[in-house]
């Protein structure tokens, strides 16, 4: 069975989507439609922009979404998933590619999400850190311990693959957790160059803002099951999908569990659709030792 998966923020690079734009008329029309919807030429930044320009949340999120979804659309009949999933922002790409959201509506939601998250980041000094080489339970316990001490919130944010968990929260709490996690035996506890605490309670203002936009948007039954980050389970009910998407901004991304559930449901061929190879690396570690699973990228 085929599982198409879609990357999140961080997969962007200068030049992304340029070949598609120049060599496929459908892609060109969709990119131009996106420029019109967003009110600025995001294609100029995607194709020629600096890493710094691409790193702005308001640019990064729609850019990664566009590259991923337009790629899927341009595959035509070769885009034939038995299931789809996406990492954080990538869930919006998965929903659009599977037909649960119209392209235009999904792009508007991604744009609203990016602006709301940017605003929340500016309101509360916060960050994230990658923890390498510890069991999830150890990371969870230390995050809870640091939060209970009252110097801010820190929570598990992204369960990326076995031995790699990203934590998120107030700067002081993340730094304190990193210190304790290093003492507990983490191979690395690396504070990431991000401007906010994604997938933590500090994103509540952004969640409230995005919820209003999601509730006004029409969702359809997808053409295949969509595995969602908040519970790592397959969903086809439009109302359930909508509620899970609202919950996503302040909830953990359960990517490890999501991929494990896809494999348990019969997925053997994983295809990362969009920029970068981050998900291929994660899935390789999640499926380690499973000779039936193959992983490739489609850019």
Q: Which residues are catalytic?
A: 88, 199
Residue 219 DSSP symbol:
-
Half-sphere exposure at residue 130, Cβ-oriented, CA atoms within 13 angstroms: 12
Task: Quote the CA–CA distance of 131 and 111 in Å, as a whole number.
Answer: 29
What residues form DSSP beta bridges with 190? 130
C-beta separation of 132 from 214 below 8 A: no
Count of beta carbons in the 10 Å neighbourhood of residue 110: 24
Residue 1 DSSP symbol:
-
Name the percent of the chain in helix, strand, coil, to the closest 5: 50, 15, 30
C-beta separation of 287 from 293 below 8 A: yes
What are the backbone dihedrals phi and psi of residue 8, each rounded to the nearest 5 degrees, phi first? -110, -165
């Amino acid at each position: 069975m085929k599982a198409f998966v879609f990357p999140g923020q961080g997969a962007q690079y200068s030049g992304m989507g340029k070949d598609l734009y120049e060599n496929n008329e459908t892609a060109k029309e969709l990119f131009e439609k996106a420029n019109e919807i967003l009110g600025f030429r995001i294609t100029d930044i995607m194709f020629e922009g600096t890493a710094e320009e691409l790193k702005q949340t308001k640019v990064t999120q729609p850019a990664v979404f566009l590259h991923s979804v337009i790629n899927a659309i341009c595959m035509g009949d070769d885009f034939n998933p038995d299931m789809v999933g996406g990492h954080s922002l990538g869930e919006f790409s998965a929903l659009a590619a599977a037909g649960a959201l119209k392209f235009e509506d999904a792009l508007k939601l991604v744009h609203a999400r990016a602006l709301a998250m940017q605003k929340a980041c500016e309101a509360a000094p916060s960050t994230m850190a990658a923890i390498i080489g510890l069991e999830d339970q150890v990371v969870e316990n230390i995050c809870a311990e640091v939060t209970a001490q009252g110097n801010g919130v820190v929570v598990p944010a992204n369960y990326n693959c076995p031995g790699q968990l990203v934590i998120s929260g107030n700067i002081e709490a993340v730094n304190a957790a990193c210190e304790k996690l290093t003492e507990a035996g983490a191979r690395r506890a690396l504070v990431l160059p991000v401007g906010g605490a994604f997938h933590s309670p500090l994103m509540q203002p952004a969640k409230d803002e995005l919820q209003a936009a999601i509730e006004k948007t029409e969702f359809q039954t997808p053409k295949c099951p969509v595995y969602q980050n908040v519970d790592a389970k397959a969903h086809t009910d439009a109302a359930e999908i909508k509620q899970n998407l609202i919950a996503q901004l302040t909830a953990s991304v359960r990517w490890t569990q999501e991929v494990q559930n896809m494999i348990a449901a019969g997925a053997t061929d994983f295809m990362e659709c969009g920029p970068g190879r981050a998900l291929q690396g994660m899935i390789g570690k999640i499926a380690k030792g499973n000779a039936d699973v193959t992983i490739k990228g489609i850019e």
